[in-house]
Amino acid sequence: MSITLYDLAGADPALRFSPYCWRIRFALAHKGLPVETVPWRFTETDVIAFSGQGKVPVIRDGDTVVSDSWSIAGYLEDRYPEPTLFGGATGKAHALFVNAWADGVLVGGIARFIMRDLFDIIDPKDRDYFRSSREARFGTTLEAVQDGRENRLAAFRDLLVPLRLVLRRQDWLGGTAPSYADHIVAGTLMWPRCASRFALLEDSDIVAGWLDRMLDQYGGLGRAATRAA
Amino acid sequence: MSITLYDLAGADPALRFSPYCWRIRFALAHKGLPVETVPWRFTETDVIAFSGQGKVPVIRDGDTVVSDSWSIAGYLEDRYPEPTLFGGATGKAHALFVNAWADGVLVGGIARFIMRDLFDIIDPKDRDYFRSSREARFGTTLEAVQDGRENRLAAFRDLLVPLRLVLRRQDWLGGTAPSYADHIVAGTLMWPRCASRFALLEDSDIVAGWLDRMLDQYGGLGRAATRAA
């Protein structure tokens, strides 16, 4: 039986753009686990009420329900050990730092480039919730959050220095093959890739080269993703 | 036979303050390997010429010479596998991201708080080299680099967000016990601790609590370190 993944979708149900859901899409593909995704919108909290909370990703695997991407990755690793996402307990502990950097630095850095673009692709029924919640978070309008983004590109790209230093020494964050560390960062970068046409990375950036290789992994899962028009 | 570590020292030979040498001090202690440290000053490149380069840490283990902290950690793990620093190949690959973050974000962030203090503790023979090389790097005087540091503390502390997110979930960067990821970050924080009296961390910061526990590891190696007067 397939695992069911509740997956954030736009007005176009094929448009999937959550940085956290993408981490799990990659992790499931890494393990070769069949998945059935259910398009889900921000305001459909009733649909995932069975998970005891209101955000995606949520997975249902038989009788087991798990939410929160880090917890889901841990569940998948325990339940389906091979091929490994983490390479053992210390590998998992170290991957948590990558997860924390992605959540605490990368997500916030990207948000300021695509917040208004997100408004354009989400389902119309999500728009009031999205605008009010995000404008409260940023303390300004969606338009103001995204404004002047071209001038902030250099500062954003500076945030990627740790990735560059790693990728100069090894092909993947996981070493000689992708691991959940790659899924975390590539999943996060699927967010602007799918939700916006604004180019965050320079083609010549070693990070762009790595992301390009990630898009081809797992039968081209990332490459095939629907993108904003 | 002890491993010999060439270890950056100040005018006071007991004052050891290199963020890279401290990573190796912790790693050697983690493995229970006896070490004999040789105090070394920036301008003593002739003393380590046998290593084929001009920076510390350098270790000599019998006939083997290794430089560069990441390379030394890898050598120690290969040569003396237990207790492990990395927990396997993927754990090592993931630790490289922590190393890259420490080198690319943390070292630069700290430098602007202690650059002038460093000048006060280094050996007088190193002063011309230190001032000219660092002033060229920063494009301004040592005094100007450090100036107004109180006003930059909040921005520095924001850089530590990924550490906080990890330490809310687990006691050590290595999970249930310290790993080389802990040595990397604690080693980097030994640099301001030993070279300066300026307090970078708030006592209430979860990072300060973790560092305090790291200082007590390995028989209190970090706690016992000589600090600037």
Q: Domain holding B49: CATH number?
A: 1.20.1050.130
Judge whether residue A1 has pLDDT over 90.
no
Angstrom distance (rounded) from CA B191 to CA A111: 34
pLDDT (tens digit per residue) in A109-121: 999 999 999 999 9
pLDDT (tens digit per residue) in A176-206: 999 999 999 999 999 999 999 999 999 999 9
Angstrom distance (rounded) from CA A45 to CA A55: 7
One domain, residues A131 and A161:
yes
One domain, residues A32 and A51:
yes
So what's the ipTM on this one?
0.98
Show the tokens assigned to B105: 């974000």
Angstrom distance (rounded) from CA A171 to CA B96: 12
One domain, residues A168 and A133:
yes
Q: What percent of chain A has pLDDT over 90?
A: 99
Angstrom distance (rounded) from CA A5 to CA B78: 41
**Residue at a domain's end among A40, A58, A79:** A79
One domain, residues A53 and A103:
no
pLDDT (tens digit per residue) in B61-70: 999 999 999 9
Burial (0-12, 13-18, 19+ Cβ within 10 Å), A16: buried
One domain, residues A7 and A32:
yes
Q: How far is B24 from chain A (nearest CA, A)?
A: 18
- Residue B72 pLDDT: 98
- Residue B1 pLDDT: 77
Q: Residue A29 belongs to a domain with what CATH number?
A: 3.40.30.10
One domain, residues A14 and A100:
no
One domain, residues A107 and A168:
yes
- Euclidean distance between the first and the last CA atom of chain B, given in angstroms as a whole number: 34
Judge whether residue A173 has pLDDT over 90.
yes
One domain, residues A104 and A212:
yes
Instruction: Say if A158 is an interface residue toward chain B (CB within 8 Å).
Output: no
Angstrom distance (rounded) from CA B2 to CA B54: 22
| DSSP line for B90-124 | HHHHHHHHHHHHIIIIIHHHHHHHHHHHHHHHS-G
**Residue at a domain's end among A49, A79, A109:** A79
- Residue B32 pLDDT: 98
Those residues of chain B that have pLDDT short of 70 are none
Pairwise CB contact (< 8 Å): A96 & B166: yes
Pairwise CB contact (< 8 Å): A161 & B97: no
Domain span at A27: 3-79
Put simply, the chain A residues between 10 and 39 with a CB less than 8 A from any chain B CB are none
Residue A200 backbone dihedrals phi, psi, to 5 degrees: -85, -30
Q: How does strand B58-61 pair with strand B35-40?
A: unpaired
Contact by Cβ (8 Å): B101, B165: no
One domain, residues A106 and A204:
yes
One domain, residues A138 and A187:
yes
Instruction: Find the mean pLDDT for residues A147-168.
Output: 98
pLDDT (tens digit per residue) in B13-69: 999 999 999 999 999 999 999 999 999 999 999 999 999 999 999 999 999 999 999
Has residue A84 been placed in a domain? no
Put simply, the chain A residues between 92 and 121 with a CB less than 8 A from any chain B CB are 92-101, 103-105
Contact by Cβ (8 Å): A166, B100: yes
Burial (0-12, 13-18, 19+ Cβ within 10 Å), A148: exposed
Q: Provide, as residue numbers in chain A, all residues whose Cβ is less than 8 Å from the Cβ of B103.
A: 165
- Residue B100 pLDDT: 98
One domain, residues A149 and A66:
no
Show the tokens assigned to A93: 């502990």
Has residue A96 been placed in a domain? yes
Residue A131 backbone dihedrals phi, psi, to 5 degrees: -65, -45
Angstrom distance (rounded) from CA B96 to CA B93: 5
Angstrom distance (rounded) from CA A75 to CA A63: 13
Has residue A12 been placed in a domain? yes
One domain, residues A180 and A125:
yes
Number of folded domains in chain B? 1
Angle (CA) A33-A39-A43 rounded to 5° is 135
**Residue at a domain's end among A31, A61, A79:** A79
Has residue A226 been placed in a domain? no
Closest by CA to A168, choosing from B189, B121, B103, B27, is B103
Chain A residue with minimum CA distance to B98: A97
